[in-house]
Structure 1
Amino acid sequence: MSSNVVSVKKGVNIEVVSIIWMVIEAAVAIGSGIIAHSLSLVAFGADSIIELIAGGVLLWRLTIEAQGASLARVKKAEKTSSWVVGIALLLLAADIVVASIDKLLTHQGAEATYMGMGLAVASGIIMPYLSRAKKQIGSEIGSKALRADGSCSIVCAYMAWTVLGGVVLTALLGWWWIDSIAALGLVYFVVKEGWEAVQEARGKEETCGCCH
C-alpha cells in the first residue's frame, strides 16, 4: 500500500472524527444557547452545522480518492456545496447583526450555562489538534481542500474562545450586553468564511470552501 493511499485513509479518519465533533458541538451549542438566550452560542452552533456540511462533502471526496476512483464527478458537487455554504454563511452573518442590534436596543441579556462554557473550552482545545492533523495530511496528499479545512478548524477555535469570553464575563460581571457584542465579534469570521466559499464556487483556485 502506497504512502499516499495511507495518508488519504488518515484524512478520511480525521474527517470522520471532525464530523462527529461538529454534530456534538452544534447540538450542545444551539441547545444551551436557546436555554440561556445566548445569541453567540446559537451562532456558534449554526456555524458548526455549516462546517458539518462542508466537512461531509470533503469526506465524500476523500473516500472516493481512497477507493481509487476519479474525482471529476466530485468537483461539481464541491462547487455546488461552496455556493450553498457561502450563501448560508452570509445570511447567518446578516441574521447575527440584526438579532444583536435588537438585543442591545431591548436590553436583552444571556444567562451563563456550565454546558456552554464546557463546550467552548472543549472546542478551543480539540479544534487546534484537528487543524494540525488536517494540514499535515493535506500536505502529504497534496490536498488544498483538506489544508483549508484545517484552517477552518482554527477559526472554529477562535470562535469558541470568543464565545467563552462572553459567557464568563456575563457570569462574573453581569454584563447583559456582552453576549450581543461577542456575537457581533463572530460576524467577521462568518463573513470571511462565507465570502471565500463564494469565491471558491466562482472558480477562484486560491480560495477554499471554508477559509484560509
Structure 2
Amino acid sequence: MAEKQSERDADLRRGIRVEIASFVYNVLKVVVSVTAGLLTGRAALVSWGLDSTVKATSAGTLIWRLRGEAKGADRRTVLHRKKVALSVVAAAF
C-alpha cells in the first residue's frame, strides 16, 4: 500500500512539473507573440499568441488541482477541485 502511495505522490509531482512547464511556455508565448504582433501590425500573430491564454489558463487550473491533492487534501476537497478544474478547462476550450 505504501508503495502505491509513493508511486501516486511521484506521479502527482511529475504532473505538477509538466503543467508548470506548460504554463511558463504558454505565458512566454503570449507575451512574445502578442508584442511582436502589435509591433509589426500582424493580427494573425496576435491571435496566435492570445490562443495560448487558453492553454495557460488550463495549465494554471491543473496546477491548482494537482497541488491540492499533493498536499494531502481530503477526498471531498480533491473531488471538488477535480470538478472545478474540469469545468474551467472545458469552458476555456
**TM-score normalized by structure 2?**
0.79
Question: Which residues of structure 2 form unaligned runs of 5+?
Answer: none
Structure with larger Rg: 1
Contact 2:16–2:63 (Cα < 8 Å) also in 1: yes
Identical residues among aligned pairs (%): 27
Counterpart of 2:26 in structure 1 is: 22
Q: Which residue of 2 aligns with 1:53?
A: 57
Whether the aligned pair in 1 keeps the contact of 2:61 and 2:89 (CA below 8 Å) is no
TM normalised by structure 1 equals: 0.38
- 2:88 and 2:38 mapped to 1: Cα distance? 28
Give the superposition deviation at 1:24: 0.8
Report the CA distance between 1:84 and its aligned residue. Answer: 3.4
Q: Partner letter of residue 84 of structure 2?
A: A
Higher-helix-fraction structure: 2
Residue 70 of structure 2 corresponds to 66
List 4+ stretches of structure 1 deviating above 3 A.
none
Task: Give the distance between the partners of 1:36 and 1:78, measured in 2 at CA.
Answer: 36
User: How many aligned residue pairs are there?
Assistant: 86
Residue 76 of structure 1: how far off its partner (Å): 3.3
In 2: Cα distance, 1:82 partner to 1:7 partner: 21
Q: Amino acid of the residue matched to residue 42 of structure 1?
A: V
Deviation at 1:10, TM superposition (A): 1.3
Indicate which of 82, 87, 91 corresponds to 1:75. Answer: 82
Asked if 1:39 corresponds to 2:46, the answer is no
Given that residues 12 and 66 in structure 2 are in contact (C-alpha distance below 8 angstroms), is that contact kept between their aligned partners in structure 1? yes
Q: Deviations over 1:128-178 (max 9, x none)?
A: xxxxxxxxxxxxxxxxxxxxxxxxxxxxxxxxxxxxxxxxxxxxxxxxxxx
Rounded Cα–Cα distance in structure 2 between residues aligned with 1:7 and 1:61: 14
Deviation at 1:83, TM superposition (A): 4.9
Q: 2:72 aligns to what SS in structure 1? A: coil
Cα distance in 1 for partners of 2:14, 2:86 equals 24
Cα distance in 1 for partners of 2:68, 2:45 equals 35
